[in-house]
A = this chain, B = another copy of it.
């Protein structure tokens, strides 16, 4: 059975901010990425669907970029939530982040048919901005490295929501 994240930060995103195609629990057409703590690191586990193909046998890079992206914003939310004295599952709404920048290095072809694990290290670079450095593993091998700078969601989003 696939390893699962028990307490995910996305489960605590407020409903009005939970429509993300990557990780919003209100978007049933989306990937439903879920990110939790694993010690001091963050982890997101996802098995791509058969349609998420690059070349038959390998996973589409854009899907992996999406995984790195939402893993990044989720990790930043985890970090700030803990800094505020909270943990996912404790009933407190989680903070929401947006992606300022995303960088992905594709080290080798990513095989299909196995769960991908994104494991992140989180660093505060400003009170409202966090850098998340991620390794994506397939079969315990690092296939992709990513870096996300995530910023606390600005009011420009909320106003239009």
Q: Name A residues whose Cβ lies closer than 8 Å to a Cβ of B.
A: 16-17, 19-22, 24, 27, 29-30, 51-58, 60-63, 65-66, 69-70, 98-106, 108-109, 153, 156-158, 160-161
Query: What are the 5 A-B residue pairs with the smallest beta carbon separation, nearest first?
Result: A62-B66, A21-B60, A57-B160, A29-B51, A65-B65
If over half of A's interface residues share one DSSP class (helix, strand or loop), that class is named, otherwise mixed; here it is mixed
What copy number does this chain have within its complex?
Answer: 2
Do residues B106 and A55 form an inter-chain contact, with CB atoms below 8 A? no
A29 to B108, CA, bound (A): 25
Q: How many Å lie between the Cα of A32 and that of B70 in the bound state?
A: 23
Task: Report the Cα distance A106→B160, complex, angstroms.
Answer: 17
Question: When the two chains form the complex, which single residue of B20, B99, B109 contacts A156, counting CB atoms closer than 8 Å?
Answer: B109
